[in-house]
Each structure stands twice: as C-alpha cells, then as structure tokens.
C-alpha cells in the first residue's frame, strides 16, 4: 500500500521534505504511479548544490572529470526512471512507494540511534514514546536512500561507490581518504544498516595499498621490523615473488614499501654470487665487490640498501664449500657493520634446500637475522594479464591491466559506439582510480540475480512437477538466447538507424524499443558532450554486412522468444550493461563474425549476484516446488503409510483399539496366539521367540524386572546372526505389543557407512515390509528422538548396535538407566512406553559359539548379497560327461559372471573389515581368516592398520555395560542355509527327473541359488519356495524342454544381470515367470 505524500512529509524535517517534494514532482512529470527512491535520487541530483552532489564530488575516485561523471550519474538515473512503467491516470501527488517509505522509517530509526542525537531522543522519548516523532534530517534521509539496491545500482553504473558517498556524507570534508580507513565505526550498534561503512576499518590490518601485490606487501612489513628483518622467501613461487618485489623497487614503485623506509634502494648481487660460487669470478673481484658495497652502505643517505642475494639454491647445490663459506661470512660481516642500513633478501624454492643450508651453516639464521616468509602463491596470475586472467571478464577491473592505461587509440575507439566509448573511458579512469569497479561488477550481477528469479518464475509456471528437468532445458535456452541478444545488443549500439532496419525484431520487442532508443539517444548526446571530434561514422558496407547477419538471428529469436518475453526486459538491460562494462571485449566481438561470438570466452558473463537474502529466498522457492525434496523431508511418512497399508488388513482385528485397551489386553491376554504365528514364520528361531515372549510377559506385568517396578520400557538385545529373523521378530513384537507393525521404528546404525549393493533382494523388503528408512543425514539420535516423540508406543529396533556412534551410545546408556532418551540438542524424550531392541551380529557373551562355527557353503554374508534379478533358462546339449552326483541330475555351478558378485562381495567384506570398530580383536582376526580368498593382502594390511589404531576399548566397555542392563539378551542361531539348499535341490531334482526326464541335467547358477535361498529366508511362509518351484520353475523347465526337442540336454538356470524382477510370485521374492531361450 502506497502512503500518501502528506503522511511521509510529517516524518521529515523541512529540508528533507523539500527533497521529497522534488521527488513527487519528478514522479508526476513522468506520470509514474508512485514516488520511489529513484525519484528522490533524481530530485537530489537535479538540485545544483545538494548534499548528495557535494558528497559525490568528494567521493569521486576516478581521474575523470567530475562534470562527466555527474552527467553519467544523471544519465543512469534517467535510464532507470525510464524503465518504470508509467500510468495513465496519474494523480496530482503520486503516493510514496513502499520502498521509499521503508527508507524513511529506516532513517528515523537510524537517526534516533545516532550518537550525536541519541540523548536528545532519549529525553524526547520519555514524554513522547513514539519513534515517529523523529523528524528525519536530510543527511539521514539521503543515507537510507543510498541503501536501496536500486539506487546503489544507479551509482554503480555511473562509476560511483555508494559506500564512498556514504562516507563522504557522514564525514566532514576535511577528512582525507587515508584517514578514513582508520576511523572507528560510527554506528557500533547499527550493524545491519550501515555495515557497508565498516569495510576497511573493521579489520585492524595494515591498509592495503593499491597496485601492490600481497607478497611484496608482506616483504615490506618484514623490512620495518626491529629484528628478524631480513626476509628469506620460501616456497615454490618464492623466486617469482622475489623477482617481482625487486623489479617493482627498481622501477621506483615506492608504494611497495611501508612509509618508514620509502626510498630504499635495491642492489642485486645475484649474478656475481652465482658466478663466483661456480668459479667464474675470482675471489679478489668478489672481495672488491663487497668493499664497494660497504662503501655504498656507508655513504647511503636514504633509509638504506636492500641487498638481493637471489636464490639460495646456489649455496646448497655447489660443492666448493669454501666459496660458499666466504659468501656467508662476508654477508654477515656486511650486515653487522651496516648500522641498520642494510637488508638482505633472498629466496629458496623448497624447505629441503633450506634444511640443507641449515645443516651446513647452522648459525645462518641468526647471522643473517633471517625471517622465513612462506610464499604460497605466485603473483604472476594476479598482477599481470596472464592467461589465467584471460577469461576473467566481469571482474577484469580488479586487476591492474597496464595495457589499458593508455588512452584508447583511434582505431580502437572508431569501432565503439559513443555510449560504449563513454563507459569505456569511464572504466579506464575508474581502473586508475581504484577498486570502484567492483561495485560495477556487482551491479551487473545484481541484475542477473533478478534474472534468475525471473527464470525461476518462468519454470514454475511451465509445469512445476518436472521443474528440475525443465529448468535445465530452460537454462540452456536462456543462455542461448542471451548470447544471441548479446550479439544484437552489440550491433544495436553500432547500427544507429536500427529502427528502420530491424522490423522483425521490433515487432515482438513490444515496448522495449523505446527504452533502447532512449539509450541510443542519450548515447548520442553523451557522445557529443564527451568528444565531438571522435564521433565515429560507420562505413556503409560494414553496416550492410551487419544487417544481413542480424536477420537470421532475429528470426531465430522470434521463434524462441514467446515464453521468455518477461525475462527479456531484464536480460536486455543486463546485456547492455555487460557490453558497456566491457567495451574492450565488445570491441573484440565486433571484429568477429556472428557465429564466433558464441564462444564462451567472449560472451558476456552472467554471474549471479551474491546478495545473501536474495539467494536465500531463491533457495526457498526452489525447495517449494521440488517434489522430490518434499519426499525426502518426510521419509518416515511415506514409509509408514506404505507399511500400514500393507499390514493393516493383517492386523485389522486390533488396530483400532485405543492404547489403554491394548495394554490391558496384553496384560491379561494369553500370549500364546501371536507368538505361535510368529514361530511359524520364523520357524528357525523358536528358542529365541520363546525367550522373548517370556520376557515380554514378565516385564509388562511389572514384576521381575531388574530395574524397578515402575519402569514400563523393555529392552532386548538380539545377538548373533540372522538379520532377517531379527527383523521379523521385532516387527512381530510391535504387532503383538502395540497392535500394528506400524509401530516398529527401525534404524540401522551401520547403513550410513555401508556401500549398498544395488538391486539387492533386501532393498525391496526393507522399505516395504519393515518401514526401514535410512535416517539420511539426520543424526541417528535425532531421528530416533523425533520418531519416539511422535509415537511413544513403538518398538525401536536398532541394528548393528556395535557400530553406534558416540551420541547414540550416550543416549542409549542414559535411556536404559533413567528412561529418557536424549537427542543431539540435549532435549529429552520419555521412553516409558517403548520397547528397545538392540541387535548385533556378534555374540558378546558367547564368543566361543561364534568362533567355533564351521564355514558354510552359503553363509549369511553371501545370502545378504542376493540380487533381485530375473531368471533365464538356457538349453544346450551335453558337451562333457555329466555324472550323477549326490543331488542327482541337478547341480549348482559357480556363477558365470564371477567377476561382479565377487567384487561386490569383496567390497562389502572390506567394508565390514574396516568398520567393525566395536569388535573385540579376536573377532576381527577370526573373520579375517575367513576372508583371505577375497582380499588382496595389501588391502587387508591397510585396513588392519586402521583397525589397530582404533580406540576400541571404549566401545567394548560401553557395549558390555549396555548389554548388562537390558532385560534380556536373546541369542539367535544362524539360519541353516546349507541344509535348506540341500532340501531345495532335492525337491528340484525330484521334480526335474519327473518333468524333464532322467537323461537331462540342470545346472543352477550359484547366484540363482543364493537368490532362492534369500527368498526362502525372507518369506513368511515356509512352503512358499516349494510352491514356486512347483508352479514356476517346473512349468518353465517343461516348456523349455519341449521347445528344444533334444533328449539329452543341459539346462542352465541363470540370472539376467541387471534385469530386476518385476512381478513377484505370491509371498516370495522370486519371479513369476522365467525367461526361456
């Protein structure tokens, strides 16, 4: 809502109100709907002797004439105003825009806090507590106007730095630029608003001198020290840095040195030293040289002499120790006799040489009073226009570019249009004047960030769902367009009569030409102002040529442009800016054919602006329309909802009961029923199930718990192998105690370290069946705490507890003792209704059981790698002699594609190896002996190295203690895969002979066998796999047999690598169909 002018005027002093009136009249004249900060700016500039004009003239840094720079300011303000939409029915007094009103409010607050007036307002406040009582003085009004990004952009375009202007306004005119950098912050309590002012004096380091590279500056600092003042530059780039320093001294660039030692002269004896040491120069000559030097130092009138002995490597590399000895001692003598008028400087490329030197001359450090100065970057890339800087277009001004210091030659200027030329000249002057250009660079980015947002809007509107994909396409389009426009824009500035020539373009440009035209007009005016003699005339053939080139481009754009019209407004402007800012580049383009200008190095750069707030909101926006992220944000939801869908029908009988009822039911009810079902599902762990059911009934009835009777939470540890069995039992616990499987919260502590095998048969199962979700980057404790606070009635399954991190350890230890679970922020959540199940692959208490285990053909590790692949039957004739083995006609063969499962295996095992931080040594050793075949020796050694370094004792102690506190340690037996495999093979063999005939053989790929076993492990029905064999495998075998009509054939059942099972046989993770060949 715009504010009426009269309201705004009440906040201002007379003087400031006059400025506002001026702004209102500007807005009225231009028939704009509102009065904005830009109007105020324009009004302030228009006044012949305003505070702003005066400040600008003081803040000016460029060598350019003030008249022209003011003109540039007026122009850029004018252009910005032109860009504002004009309204038809403009009122007498265009009301104050929100941005301007905010600026006024800001200045009120500002003024109130200002030290000069603070007390005044404090007193005033006591009787009239409203902030609006503050009448804003013009000074503060102007200051807050300058804070507006739109305004500072205008200043930037004109080559001003709004910071400088603010300084000029705040500081009395007598303060020089040097003093300014040291004055204390004026608004210590006003950080956010005038933070710009803090720049420079905020960091109490010696002020940076322009045109001096950092390395040389550091050398200079060392020179003025009391002792240790002879720098020895060390580092790969040390020699370059030394050369650079010496050269700039020789060239008379005194800024390199601190003021105290201005006028230091430099003498290089590098050449003499290397000649002498290598035997090219006689000792007498050398001594003579030293005497000469001594005289020079004695006669020296200035602050002194700095003696460059060059690269120390010659001292180290050469054999003739005598010569080097002489040098070292002569230099020492020279230094001692100089009376503080002599400095030594040198360089050495690496610390090795320096060490050697120290080994030879142990006292050289003190003798020469050395100060080691590490040099870590070459100045090459930064101070001169090296290839590294070639592409550094938008910020080219940060680096002194000597070649551009000369006034533009006629040939150069003749190819530039007037506006460009003016901007160019400005840029050059700005370059000379200092770093003002960084603001210019910033401005251009400012624009492009707007552009970014516009882009985003665009992509939003055009199908928000595929936003990501769309956006990249769009990006590409936009970039393409941008390039074309950059061409056009450059041409625009050259072809003055563009209106007559470019009909196709102006059609769809709509209202933009007016703007461009105004720019053009202004450019002409500016040109005549600037330098009438230099106005260039394009040769006719040149412009004709251009026209031809332009046309295809323009029509091209026409096709593309429909959707992007909105963006173009910004883009055009931005491109103009780019061209204006980089006239030298533009000129470069100009000489190239249109197509060539597409090369990345010459296209204007469209970096974004780094204004934090803008990005922040941009980021937010993105987040909003990214559906995938939404999904990520609520990992639990999606998981749980799916789970409950799957399971609700199974547990419908109890799922709608309230908790109170539920618990009563548990207390009184005979636990037999659910446990019996479970025992059927997990038939191989009957022992464990029995223990668990007893413990649950004992703890839930409140007696027999070892840790006080008021405790309602139950703790289990499931130790030993059989991951699947543990999960099933945990899920069943949730169902039994709380009524639904949805109350299972499972976390695999290890999963975040594990390199997952893709397409695992377990993936599918994990998410669908158990609601197992990785907690992602969220910390495990936070994840658990969050879920528990949402659903306190849960079974918390924490797998691989031995891998728990420090925080989980702490929280669990605390939780088991006091019944409160703490997250990483220290918040505590009551866990009185929860059941904790901690699982570990290792049997702490029964190590002997585990280590006494014989190695299985199909171990749990191997089964865990089972893939969920489609199967295929291949048929061939008997090539070798197949004899019946104990399984009859069916045999399991090693996988044909050994390489892949093997490497997967290895990776996983290596992973296990290196990550079993919590395990006792013995266990590591043991499992390692099992892995020998899969592991290269070095790898093992490396890993064990790390293992040994582990501070494992902590973990062990902790785990022992924790396991000592749980209500019951349940030991799981390993799932007997081998006998199951045998059983399955027998079934297959029996059926195969019946279906196909006794003369045929079936080879089952080992990988397929693993898959079948895994499926049998996962399934809830004992008979499910047999059913599958019966219904799927046999029918497929039969069909395959019939197809090939060979009596004695070999059939192979193999997995189709990479082809994931799509349809599942009921109740088991096996394909419903087998591919036949």
Partner 1 sequence: MGQSVLEALNVRVVGSGEKILVLAHGFGTDQSAWQRILPFFLRDYRVVLYDLVCAGSVNPDFFDFRRYTTLDAYVDDLLHILDALGVERCTHVGHSVSAMIGILASIKRPELFTKLILIGASPRFLNDKDYHGGFEHGEIEEVFSAMEANYEAWVNGFAPLAVGADVPAAVREFSRTLFNMRPDITLFVSRTVFNSDLRGVLGLVKVPCSIIQTTKDVSVPTSVATYLKNHLGGRSTVHMLNVEGHLPHLSAPTLLAQELRRALSR
Q: State which of positions 733-752 bind partner 1 (CB under 8 A).
A: 752
Minimum distance from residue 403 beta carbon to partner 1 (Å):
20
Task: Name which of 945, 891, 893 is nearest 914 in CA terms.
Answer: 945
Strand partners, 744: 795
Question: From the CB of residue 280, how many other CB atoms can be counted at a distance below 10 Å?
Answer: 11
Q: Which two tokens stand for residue 133?
A: 């009582």
Phi first, then psi: give them for residue 41, nearest 5 degrees: -60, -50
Task: Name which of 1050, 977, 1052, 974 is nearest 1010 in CA terms.
Answer: 977
Of 196-204, 319-327, 667-675, 1053-1061: span binding partner 1 (CB under 8 A): 196-204
Phi first, then psi: give them for residue 869, nearest 5 degrees: -100, 155
Q: Which two tokens stand for residue 144?
A: 């807050």
Minimum distance from residue 117 beta carbon to partner 1 (Å):
23
Minimum distance from residue 836 beta carbon to partner 1 (Å):
20
Q: Which of residues 772-811 bind partner 1 (CB under 8 A)?
A: 776-780, 805-807
Q: Which of residues 571-630 bind partner 1 (CB under 8 A)?
A: 600-601, 603, 605-612, 615-616, 618-619, 628-629
Q: Which of residues 53-82 bind partner 1 (CB under 8 A)?
A: none
Asked if 798 contacts 783 with a C-beta cutoff of 8 angstroms, the reply is no
Asked if 793 contacts 738 with a C-beta cutoff of 8 angstroms, the reply is yes
Q: Which of 632, 687, 941, 1062 is close enough to bind partner 1 by CB under 8 A?
A: 632
Residue 25 vs 810, nearer CB to partner 1: 810
Residue 193 vs 1026, nearer CB to partner 1: 193
Minimum distance from residue 199 beta carbon to partner 1 (Å):
4
Minimum distance from residue 841 beta carbon to partner 1 (Å):
18
Residue 22 vs 394, nearer CB to partner 1: 394
Q: Which of residues 899-918 bind partner 1 (CB under 8 A)?
A: 911, 914-915, 917
Minimum distance from residue 234 beta carbon to partner 1 (Å):
6
- Angle of helix 37-46 versus helix 138-147 axis, rounded to 10: 130
Asked if 1028 contacts 1065 with a C-beta cutoff of 8 angstroms, the reply is yes
Q: By rule CB under 8 A, what string of x and - marks binding of each residue 173-192 to partner 1? A: -----------xx-----x-
**By the rule CB under 8 A, 377 interacts with partner 1:** yes
Question: From the CB of residue 272, how many other CB atoms can be counted at a distance below 10 Å?
Answer: 18
Question: From the CB of residue 536, how many other CB atoms can be counted at a distance below 10 Å?
Answer: 15
Q: Applying CB under 8 A, what is the total number of residues that bind partner 1?
A: 95
Half-sphere exposure of 1052 (CA within 13 A, CB side): 16
Of 207-215, 489-497, 583-591, 839-847: span binding partner 1 (CB under 8 A): 207-215
Write out the DSSP string of 412-479.
HHHTS-HHHHHHHHHHHHHHHH-TTHHHHHHHHHHHHHHHHHHHHHHHHHS-STTHHHHHHHHHHHHH
First to last CA, the chain: 75
Distances (CA, A) of 901 to 765, 934, 996, 1010: 20, 11, 30, 11
Q: Which of residues 459-478 bind partner 1 (CB under 8 A)?
A: 472, 475
**By the rule CB under 8 A, 199 interacts with partner 1:** yes
Minimum distance from residue 427 beta carbon to partner 1 (Å):
16
Burial class (CB in 10 A: 0-12, 13-18, 19+), 290: middle
DSSP code of residue 282: -
Q: Which of residues 1048-1067 bind partner 1 (CB under 8 A)?
A: none
Asked if 533 contacts 430 with a C-beta cutoff of 8 angstroms, the reply is no
Minimum distance from residue 986 beta carbon to partner 1 (Å):
42
For residue 651, give every residue at least 6 positions away whose Cβ sits within 8 Å of its Cβ, in sequence order, or none. Answer: 735, 739, 740, 741
Residue 216 vs 839, nearer CB to partner 1: 216
Minimum distance from residue 438 beta carbon to partner 1 (Å):
6
**By the rule CB under 8 A, 352 interacts with partner 1:** yes
Residue 349 vs 572, nearer CB to partner 1: 349
Q: By rule CB under 8 A, what string of x and - marks binding of each residue 396-435 to partner 1? A: --x------------------------------------x
DSSP code of residue 1033: I
Minimum distance from residue 448 beta carbon to partner 1 (Å):
8
Q: Which of residues 814-833 bind partner 1 (CB under 8 A)?
A: 824-825
Q: Which two tokens stand for residue 316?
A: 């180290």
**By the rule CB under 8 A, 887 interacts with partner 1:** no
Q: Which of residues 832-871 bind partner 1 (CB under 8 A)?
A: none
Asked if 126 contacts 62 with a C-beta cutoff of 8 angstroms, the reply is no
Residue 297 vs 605, nearer CB to partner 1: 605
Q: Which of 64, 167, 354, 858 is close enough to bind partner 1 by CB under 8 A?
A: 354
The CA-CA-CA angle for residues 397, 400, 401, to 5°, reads 90
Q: Which two tokens stand for residue 360?
A: 């030879």
Q: Which of 78, 95, 231, 235 is close enough to bind partner 1 by CB under 8 A?
A: 235
**By the rule CB under 8 A, 244 interacts with partner 1:** no
Coil, strand or helix: which one is 305?
A: strand
Q: By rule CB under 8 A, what string of x and - marks binding of each residue 916-935 to partner 1? A: -x------------------
Q: Which of 120, 596, 946, 957 is close enough to bind partner 1 by CB under 8 A?
A: 946
Residue 673 vs 806, nearer CB to partner 1: 806
Q: How far apart are alpha carbons 170 and 17 in whole angstroms?
A: 20
Phi first, then psi: give them for residue 253, nearest 5 degrees: -85, 90
Residue 309 vs 955, nearer CB to partner 1: 955
Q: Which of 127, 321, 541, 949 is close enough to bind partner 1 by CB under 8 A?
A: 949
Task: Name which of 1056, 999, 736, 724 is nearest 873 in CA terms.
Answer: 1056
Of 4-12, 380-388, 511-519, 761-769: span binding partner 1 (CB under 8 A): 380-388
Q: Which of 392, 625, 856, 990 is close enough to bind partner 1 by CB under 8 A?
A: 392
Minimum distance from residue 167 beta carbon to partner 1 (Å):
13
Q: How far apart are alpha carbons 938 and 980 in whole angstroms?
A: 36
- β-strand pairing of 869-877 with 1049-1060: antiparallel
Minimum distance from residue 140 beta carbon to partner 1 (Å):
20
Of 386-394, 859-867, 958-966, 1017-1025: span binding partner 1 (CB under 8 A): 386-394
Q: Which of residues 430-449 bind partner 1 (CB under 8 A)?
A: 435, 438, 441-442, 445
Residue 169 vs 917, nearer CB to partner 1: 917
Of 369-377, 783-791, 848-856, 967-975: span binding partner 1 (CB under 8 A): 369-377
Q: Which of 123, 278, 366, 479 is close enough to bind partner 1 by CB under 8 A?
A: 479
Of 378-386, 540-548, 970-978, 1057-1065: span binding partner 1 (CB under 8 A): 378-386
Residue 198 vs 791, nearer CB to partner 1: 198
Q: How far apart are alpha carbons 414 and 417 in whole angstroms?
A: 8
Write out the DSSP string of 810-857.
HHHHHHHHHSEEE-TTS-EEE-TT-EEEEEESS-STTHHHHHTPPPPS
Residue 351 vs 667, nearer CB to partner 1: 351
Write out the DSSP string of 25-62.
HHHHHTTBSSB-HHHHHHHHHHSTT-HHHHHHHHH--S
Minimum distance from residue 369 beta carbon to partner 1 (Å):
18
Minimum distance from residue 770 beta carbon to partner 1 (Å):
21
Q: Which two tokens stand for residue 480?
A: 């393409």
């Amino acid at each position: 809502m715009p504010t009426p002018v009269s309201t705004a005027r009440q906040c201002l002093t007379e003087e400031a109100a006059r400025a506002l009136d001026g702004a209102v009249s500007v807005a009225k004249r231009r028939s704009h709907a509102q009065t904005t900060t830009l109007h105020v700016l324009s009004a302030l500039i228009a006044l012949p002797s305003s505070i702003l004009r005066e400040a600008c003239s003081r803040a000016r840094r460029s060598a350019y004439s003030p008249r022209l720079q003011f003109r540039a300011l007026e122009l850029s303000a004018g252009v910005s105003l032109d860009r504002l939409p004009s309204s038809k029915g403009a009122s007498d007094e265009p009301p104050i825009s929100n941005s301007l009103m905010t600026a006024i409010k800001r200045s009120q607050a500002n003024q109130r806090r200002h030290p000069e007036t603070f007390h005044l307002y404090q007193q005033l406040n006591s009787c009239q507590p409203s902030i609006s009582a503050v009448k804003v003085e013009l000074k503060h009004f102007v200051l807050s106007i300058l804070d507006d990004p739109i305004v500072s952009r205008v200043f930037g375009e004109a080559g001003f730095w709004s910071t400088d202007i603010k300084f000029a306004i705040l500081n009395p005119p007598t303060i020089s630029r040097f003093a300014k950098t040291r004055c204390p912050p004026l608004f210590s309590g006003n950080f956010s608003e005038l933070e710009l002012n803090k720049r420079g004096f905020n960091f109490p380091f010696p002020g940076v001198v322009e045109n001096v590279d950092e390395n040389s500056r550091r050398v200079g600092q060392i020179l003025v020290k009391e002792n240790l003042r002879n720098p020895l530059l060390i580092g790969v780039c040390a020699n370059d840095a030394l050369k650079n320093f010496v050269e700039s001294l020789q060239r008379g660039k005194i800024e390199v040195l601190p003021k105290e030692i201005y006028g230091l002269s430099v003498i290089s004896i590098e050449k003499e030293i290397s000649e002498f040491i290598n035997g090219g120069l006689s000792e007498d000559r050398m001594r003579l040289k030293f005497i000469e030097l001594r005289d020079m130092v004695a006669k020296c009138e200035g602050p002194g002499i700095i003696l460059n002995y060059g690269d120390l490597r010659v001292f180290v590399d050469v054999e003739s120790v005598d010569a080097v000895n002489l040098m070292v001692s002569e230099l020492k003598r020279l230094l001692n006799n100089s009376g503080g008028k002599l400095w030594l400087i040198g360089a050495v490329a690496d610390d090795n040489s320096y060490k050697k030197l120290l080994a030879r001359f142990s006292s050289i450090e003190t003798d020469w009073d050395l100060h080691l100065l590490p040099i870590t970057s070459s100045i090459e890339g930064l101070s001169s226009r090296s290839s590294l800087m070639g592409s550094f277009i938008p910020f080219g001004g940060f680096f002194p570019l000597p070649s551009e210091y000369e006034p533009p030659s006629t040939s150069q200027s003749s190819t530039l249009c007037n506006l460009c030329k003016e901007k160019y000249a400005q840029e050059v002057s700005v370059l000379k004047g200092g770093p003002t250009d960084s603001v210019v660079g910033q401005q251009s980015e400012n624009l492009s960030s707007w552009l970014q947002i516009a882009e985003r809007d665009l992509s939003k509107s055009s199908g928000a769902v595929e936003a990501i994909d769309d956006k990249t396409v769009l990006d590409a389009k936009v970039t393409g367009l941008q390039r074309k426009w950059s061409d056009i824009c450059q041409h625009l500035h050259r072809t003055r009569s563009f209106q007559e020539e470019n009909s196709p373009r102006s059609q769809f440009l709509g209202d933009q030409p007016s703007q461009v035209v105004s720019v053009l007009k202004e450019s002409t005016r500016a040109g005549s102002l600037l330098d009438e003699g230099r106005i260039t005339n394009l040769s006719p053939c040149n412009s004709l040529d251009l026209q031809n080139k332009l046309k295809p481009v323009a029509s091209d754009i026409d096709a593309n442009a429909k959707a992007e019209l909105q963006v173009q407004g910004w883009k055009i402007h931005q491109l103009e800016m780019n061209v204006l800012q980089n006239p030298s580049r533009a000129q470069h383009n100009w000489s190239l054919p249109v197509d060539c200008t597409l090369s990345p190095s010459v296209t204007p750069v469209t970096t974004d602006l780094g204004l934090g707030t803008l990005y922040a909101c941009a980021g937010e926006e993105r987040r909003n329309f990214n559906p995938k992220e939404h999904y990520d944000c609520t990992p639990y939801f999606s998981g749980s909802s799916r789970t409950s869908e799957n399971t609700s029908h199974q547990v419908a009988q109890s799922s709608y009961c309230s908790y109170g009822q539920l618990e009563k039911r548990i207390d009184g009810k005979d636990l037999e029923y659910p446990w019996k079902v479970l025992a059927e599902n997990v038939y191989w762990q009957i022992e464990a199930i029995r223990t668990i059911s007893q413990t649950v009934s004992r703890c839930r009835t409140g007696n027999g718990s070892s840790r006080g009777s008021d405790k309602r939470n139950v703790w289990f540890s499931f130790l030993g192998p059989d991951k699947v069995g543990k999960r099933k039992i945990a899920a069943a616990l949730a169902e039994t105690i709380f009524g639904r499987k949805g109350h299972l919260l499972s976390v695999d502590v290890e999963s975040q370290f594990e390199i997952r095998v893709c397409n695992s048969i377990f993936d599918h199962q994990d998410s669908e069946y158990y609601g197992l979700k990785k907690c992602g980057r969220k910390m495990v404790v936070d994840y658990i705490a969050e879920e528990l606070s949402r659903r306190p009635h849960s079974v918390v399954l924490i797998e691989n507890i031995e891998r728990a991190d420090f925080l989980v350890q702490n929280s669990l230890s605390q939780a088991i003792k006091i019944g409160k679970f703490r997250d990483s922020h220290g918040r505590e959540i009551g866990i009185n209704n929860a059941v904790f199940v901690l699982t570990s692959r290792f049997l702490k208490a029964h190590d002997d059981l585990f280590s006494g285990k014989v190695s299985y053909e199909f171990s749990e590790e191997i089964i865990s790698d089972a893939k969920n692949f489609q199967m295929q039957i291949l048929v061939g004739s008997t090539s070798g002699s197949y004899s019946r083995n104990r399984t009859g006609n069916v045999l399991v063969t090693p996988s044909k594609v050994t390489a892949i499962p093997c490497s997967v295996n290895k990776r996983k095992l290596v992973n296990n190896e290196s990550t079993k931080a919590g395990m006792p040594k013995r266990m590591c050793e043991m499992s390692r002996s099992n892995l020998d075949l899969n592991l290269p020796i070095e790898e093992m050694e490396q890993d064990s190295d790390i293992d040994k370094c582990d501070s494992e004792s902590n973990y062990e102690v902790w785990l022992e203690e924790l396991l000592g506190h749980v209500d019951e340690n349940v030991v799981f037996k390993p799932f007997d895969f081998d006998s199951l495999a045998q059983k399955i093979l027998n079934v297959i063999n029996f059926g195969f002979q019946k279906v196909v005939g006794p003369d045929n053989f079936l080879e089952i790929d080992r990988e397929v066998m693993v898959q079948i076993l895994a499926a049998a492990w996962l399934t809830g029905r004992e008979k499910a796999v047999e059913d599958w064999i019966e219904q799927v495998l046999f029918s497929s075998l039969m069909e395959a047999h019939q197809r090939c009509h060979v009596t004695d054939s070999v059939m192979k059942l193999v997995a189709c690598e990479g082809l994931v099972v799509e349809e599942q046989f009921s109740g088991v993770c096996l394909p419903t169909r087998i591919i036949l060949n």
